Structure formats: structure tokens, C-alpha cells
Amino acid sequence: MSKELAKTYDPKDIEDRLYKKWEDNKYFHAEVDRSKKPFTIVMPPPNITGQLHMGHALDNTMQDILIRYKRMQGYNALWQPGTDHASIATEVKVIESLKEQGIDKDELGREGFLEKAWEWKEEYGGRILKQLKKMGSSADWDRERFTMDEGCSKAVEDVFIKLFDKGYIYKGSRIINWCPVCQTSISDAEVEHEEQNGFFWHINYPVKGEEGRFVEIATTRPETLLGDTAVAVNPEDERYQDLIGKTLILPLVGREIPVVADAYVDKEFGTGCVKITPAHDPNDFEVGKRHNLPEINVLNDDATINANGGKYQGMDRYEAREAMIKDLDELGLLVKVVPHAHNVGTHDRCKTTVEPMIKQQWFVKMDEMIKPAVKAVKEGEIKLLPERMDKIYFNWTDNIRDWCISRQLWWGHRIPAYYCADCGEFVVARENPGKCPKCGCTHMTQDEDTLDTWFSSALWPFSTLGWPDKTEDLDYFYPNDVLVTGYDIIFFWVIRMIFSGYEQMGEAPFHTVLFHGLVRDSQGRKMSKSLGNGIDPLEVIDKYGADALRLTLITGNAPGNDMRFYWERVEASRNFANKVWNASRFIMMNIGDEKLETPALEDFTTEDKWILSAVNSLAKEVTENMDKFELGIAVQKVYDFIWDEFCDWYIEITKTRTYKKEEDPKSAKTAMWTLKTVLIQALKLLHPYMPFITEEIFCTLQEEEETIMLSEWPTFKEEWNFKAEEEAVAHVKDLVKGIRNTRAEMDVPPSRKAKVFIVTEDKELEEIFASMKTAYAALISASEIQVQDTKDGIGEDAVSVVIPGAVVYIPLEDLVDFEKEKERLKKEQERLKKELARSKGMLSNEKFLSKAPEAKVLEEKEKLAKYEQMMQQVEERLSQMK
């Protein structure tokens, strides 16, 4: 074997070199091949503004494990990569970049701004994909897509027009999330709910015509009072029966508003009377529709009060709040102010508090489109893992509202709608129709808005494969097999892909959704910029290598569960890589240039059969775990097998055979063939998790195959099924562990050889221990091994070790050199005498006891107790030796 592994494992030396080899040889690339079964995963497209964080690292490691596993199983595996244009995030980044250059977005105009945005995308948009490559991601980079590339844009336009023609897309006034800083509507996905300390302001609304009678309401947003158009009570609330249908005078405004009865009101919450502001609250909006209430918007787009706010017009929302509270107090209408912690929606980009506002926007009607998505999960056509995700999924589908898809941004897919400047008629079309179909006017302008980013990513599983064109790729690779994603975007992305798949393709986009949790810091906190506790995966890779990071992220990871990141665990993963590397080097050095043929069955020893059987069972179990997506359980089994069974047991057992090649060349060759064969099987099972180190060792260890990536996944072989030998070695392990523990307790060095008597009445055990002496003699530092069925010939002073089915005896004089031990114990006795005298002296010294700190006195008392106990043990040992 001319090739050799480097002396020490250095990830920096191998990772970039191997990744280049894989890419150059197009190992990741998949073409349509009807002779093979396809397996497809679509990468959740990271934002072009994105930078690799631990969530991406976990998400993509899991996908890479699955794709590498399936590739080795012989599937035509496609991992489809790409990036998302991320409307708001990118627009904000580009505006910031222009500001630094002293350029104003509005002065540039739409076309000029888009030109700059595309330049920015070209420069920074692929950064995260380069970072994913550092992780070892084996995606088909030749097929990389972008949500705003020509094909994806065509798909978006197609879907918009189709859904509009079907009556599923409409333009109307509804409540949306409005960001006053970014000045755009935003999706639910971009609203982060955080608990904030606020107040409940209790306000009295006078009842018209009943002097001195009031209705008390409680609100967390007093400024919206300006837009109130009713107060609602529960129809079954006996306290307010006589109020239903009466009129109230809206404080500060003087407008008359009705009291309406609506089951939406919770009798037990607050006062049981709820102010209804249809233009500024989604629930109030629905109440308003049921009772035909007017909708009065009191806010401008920048969250200042508009003309409907009377004397408060022009004030910022919070400034108006203070002024109104002051005025209500002066009027005697402010009942009380109660501190109240409540959830407040903020924009995840700029952290501004979001305003629910009624706006003219484009919406997708959801009541019909959601039905197949509900049915698919209910009937098991799509499986969500872990199963507890079903509940969250249905909770969202049951409460689905129409989806606001328009955004007041320039970067994104522009809405394909054209308006007549004269009569206001609009037309949805691919291109400007040039002429109004209603009045014939030729001044048609395109809608200024763009589409919600999620509109395009909802089509991702099929738009990336060429849809709406009927491509070979689409026919062969669709539907995808598995989607891997974090549980935090279940509603926004997963459900949208599912209903889009049924609507556009007539079938599910994938059969399984594998949810993973969040990667938290060592204290269990979410990683965030504000806490400054984020850990850069690239820093981890630089320090310990990609394989160590990948192993850390998957070890102990169960679907849907959050995990904590500890540097110590990465270190442990790196130590495991070192163990694999050093064991492989040791094996290769032993094999040298030996040509190894497959041995005959009778040439295998019990331990050879045991390790072959163990790796055989491992392959079966790991495959079962992988198929159930239990990736953490699978890798733990591989880890335990390599470290414990293979390195700590089998390699140690075979050392006596490989060191004595000349004495028994056949046995040595059988051991070396087994070492190499089992190592190769173990490397294959480990490869999806730790691709770099397994590739480097595999390609150095053998010359038949050029990469482990395309080698065959290990499967269970009946001819390697040696159950009896597995049981036999289990008994030998009990024996070795028992003797080693006893020697360690007695402080006997491994270099001291001792005679060992094994006494068992079990004939089968007797045969095992007798026939396997050469396998375990060195492991127990035995000078001689006697296996017998009685205690005959064993001295009374022998040390006994009880193991299942047998008792082991070791003559005490073999373990201990009496004269040396006596000498050592006497020295120890003298030392302890001095320590005891010193300690007792201190504790009988009144000066010390009165002046020394209490902790110091206590420490001295503990020392004295310890020395007394040690002295007792030493004297006992000395008396035994007499």
C-alpha cells in the first residue's frame, strides 16, 4: 500500500481539497436516468442577504446526510439548491449600501434602484452558498436557482394570472400587518411576537341620553379609540342586556356609536365590553363585517394620526396616546391604568411595532385552496415528523385568513396588473395591454407593488425543476421526497408549498416534512444578535473542521427538538475524528503492502466473526433508523461501534496476531483482512455524517473505488450473521472488564503479569474461555490462564472476581510484590503519622481555633478525618500482610 495517511488529522489539509475533487468530478450532479429511482430534496432557499448561522448549518447538514445516504443506496439523488430574493431584507440592505455612497433611493427611481439591487445581488448574493460548501453540502450546484431568475419569475407570473382568472386572487380592503418604518405590508412570517410591559387603560364611554351612566372598556392601544365604530358585548352577558342596541358617545371625538352583541366577546375578560375598531384590529374587522360597521382608518403610513384624528392630527401614534390619556383624565373619563404584560407584534427586520391597518391590497382567497393541504396531512399522504407538528399545522389551517400578497417595495416580482389612468379599470396580464378594455384610453400603468417573497418560494419544489414548462426534470424528479426545515416556519412556507403543489401540480410536493428544532446556546437561549450569543459555524469549522461541527449538530438530535451548542461537544467530536484517523493509520501500517484475499470461513477466529457480525447488525439497524429519519440515533450507534467495539476491543484483540505475522501469517492476514473490511463498512456508515475524513481514509485505504460517495451502502449479509460468536465475545468482554476493574482498584500496573484461574460449571462457557485464550490473554495481563470447573489448586489468598456464569481467581502474590508493598505501606504510615500530629496540634491550639476563619478550621477538621481513615486502611493492609 503505497499511499499513506498524514501523521496527524488536520481538517484544513483535506477539506477544501476533497470538496474541489467532488465538484470537479460532478459527483453531486444528477441527470434524468430512467434506469434509476429518483430521490429529490429541495433546499430551503436561504436569503441572498443571508450569512451562514447555526440554523442553516443544522438544516443543511440534515439534508446532506439524507442525500449522501440515498446516493450510496443507488438512488439518482438530486439535492436542488438555490437562493431567495428576500424582498424586504434585500431592499433594506441595498438602501443602506446606497446611503453610504450618498445616494437616495427615490432620486434613483425604480429602474435605477433595481439596477443597483441586481449589482448588489451579483456581488453578495452567493456568499451563503459558498459557506454551505464549507460545510460539505453535496447539492447539485450546476442546477442552482434564484427565485427571481427568468424561469422562477415566469412561474410566479403564471400562477398569479391563473389564480386571478379563477377568482382566487382579488384586490380589496382588509386588515394587514403594516410596518411604519419600512412602509410596506408584511407577512405573518415577518412579525415577531414579543412580550412587552404595557398597560390596560380603563375608559368610560358615556351612554347617550342617560346622564351619569357609562360603559367601561379596557384597551392597550388608546390611540385607536379615534377609529372606534362600536362597542361589543357578549349576547349572553346578563350585565349588559339592556345596553344592546343603545348608543354611546365616543370620548374626545363626540361621534355616536352603537352597542352591538357579538359572541366574539369573552364575558370573563376585562370588563366584558370591547371597543370595536374595524380598521385597526383583525378581530374587530370581522366583527365590523358582521354588523355592517363603518371602517375608519386613523393612521397615516408613517404611524402619525391622519385627518380622522381631529385635534391629534399629525402627532406620532405614541405622542397622540399621551395627549389623549391626559385629555381623558381631565374629562374624568379615565377610570384607572393597570400594568399589563402582553404580546406585541414587531417587524423582524427593523424591530418596529407593527400596526394592524385596513388597506387596499392584493389577497389570495384561502378557504378552497387550503382544503387539499388539510386532507393530505389528515389522510397521511404527507407525513409531518415529529407527529406533534400535526396539531400546530391544523391549528393554522383551521384559522386561516386570506393571504395578503402585495408589498410596497421595488425589489421583487412586480404585480402583473395594469390600470387605466382615466377610468381606473385594471387588467391582469403578462404585458401592458396598451389600451383600456373599458374606455379605450391608452394610458395604462403597471401596479407599483411587488409580490410577497413567500409567493415565489411557495412554488419552489416545482418551479426549480422547470415548471410551468413540461420538462423532463419535472416529470422525473417531481414530487420531491423529503423537505427538511425548522419548525419555526411551518405555517409560512411549508403549508404554502403544500397547497401550491396541489393547486398547480395536482399532487403533494413531497411525502415527508422533517422538522428540526433550533440550535440554542449552552444556556438554552435562542441565538440572536441582540444577545451577542450567536456562534459562527465558519469559526467552528476553522477551529475543528466541518466533520466535527456536523457530528456535533446531529449527535443526540431528535426531530423537532431544540439542541444546545457546547464547544466541549465539538471538541469531543474532533477527538472522535482523531480516534478514527489514528485507528485507520494503525491498520494501514500493519497491512503495509500485503495483498489480502478473502479468507475461507474456517480461517476466521471467533473474534473475527464477532466483529463482522457486529458491523453487519449495525448496517441493518442504522439503515432502519435512517429510513425513519432518526439521524441522531443512527450516528450514535455508528460512533459507539467505531469507538468501543472496533477500536477499544477488536483492534486490541488482534494486536497479538498482527504483531506475530511471521509466526502465523495466515492468522495475521485473516485479522488484517477483517480489520480493513470492517473499517471500510464503518466508514461507509459514517460517511453521510462526516464526509471529509471518511473520504480521505477510504481513498487511501483501497484503490478499487475513487470515492466513498458513490460506493455501495452496507446492507445486511446473511453470511456475516454470527450470533453465537457475538455472545461468546460478550462473555470475554465481561471477563476482561471484571479483571481490569479489580486490578485498577488494587493499583496493579498493566505490566505486572498474573496467573488467572477461570472457574465455571457451564460447559459452553468453559469452551469459550478455553478456545479464546489468545484473544484476551494480553488484555488481562495474564502470565497463564487455567479454565476449570472446580476451585481445585487455587490458594486461599487468591483475589476473586465474579462475572456472569463464572468466578475468576488471581493469586494475591501474583498481583502484589509483598516486600515492595510492605516498604511502600510503611513509608505511607510514617507520612500519615506526621500529618496526623500536625493536624491534631493545630486543632488543639486555642490561638488557632479563636483567630482562624471558621472555613479554615472546618477544612483542618476534614483533613484530620481523612488522614485517620487513610491510616486505618494502611494499618489494615499491613496486618493482612503479616
Residue list, annotated binding site for ATP = 529
**Nearest CA-CA partner of 52 in 119, 151, 110, 135:** 135
Rg of the chain taking only CA atoms, in angstroms = 38
DSSP 652: H
* Beta-carbon contacts of residue 163 (< 8 Å; ≥ 6 apart): 169, 364, 503
Q: Look at residue 566 and give its three-state secondary structure.
A: coil
For the chain, how many helices (H) and strands (E)? 29, 29
* Beta-carbon contacts of residue 623 (< 8 Å; ≥ 6 apart): 713, 715, 716
Cβ 687 vs Cβ 708: under 8 Å: yes
* Beta-carbon contacts of residue 753 (< 8 Å; ≥ 6 apart): 781, 782, 783, 814
Separation of CA 669 from chain center: 45
Cβ 70 vs Cβ 39: under 8 Å: yes
On the 0-12 / 13-18 / 19+ scale of CB atoms within 10 A, 281 is buried
State the Cα–Cα distance between residues 207 and 193, nearest whole angstrom. 36
Return the C-alpha cell found at 94: 441595498
Concatenated DSSP letters of 41-105? EEPPPPBTT----HHHHHHHHHHHHHHHHHHHTT-EEEEE-EEB--HHHHHHHHHHHHHHTT--H
Cβ 246 vs Cβ 258: under 8 Å: yes
| Biggest distance spanned by C-alpha atoms of the chain | 121
Separation of CA 352 from chain center: 28
Q: H/E element holding 882?
A: none
Residue written as grid cell 387588467: 427
Question: N- to C-terminal Cα distance for the chain?
Answer: 59
* Beta-carbon contacts of residue 488 (< 8 Å; ≥ 6 apart): 518
State the Cα–Cα distance between residues 516 and 717, nearest whole angstrom. 33
- Per the DSSP assignment, residues forming a β-bridge with 451 are 406
State the Cα–Cα distance between residues 41 and 64, nearest whole angstrom. 9
Binding-site residues:
529
Q: H/E element holding 335?
A: strand 334-347
**Nearest CA-CA partner of 147 in 504, 488, 493, 459:** 459
Residue written as grid cell 475524528: 577
Cβ 135 vs Cβ 541: under 8 Å: yes
Cβ 536 vs Cβ 55: under 8 Å: no
**Helical spans, DSSP H, in 628-664:** 631-640, 652-659
State the Cα–Cα distance between residues 396 and 380, nearest whole angstrom. 18
Q: Where are the beta strands (DSSP E) in 552-635?
A: 563-564
Cβ 188 vs Cβ 492: under 8 Å: yes
**Nearest CA-CA partner of 48 in 132, 120, 135:** 120
State the Cα–Cα distance between residues 345 and 40, nearest whole angstrom. 37
**Side chain identity, residue 723:** K
**Side chain identity, residue 175:** I
Q: Look at residue 346 and give its three-state secondary structure.
A: strand
* Beta-carbon contacts of residue 719 (< 8 Å; ≥ 6 apart): none
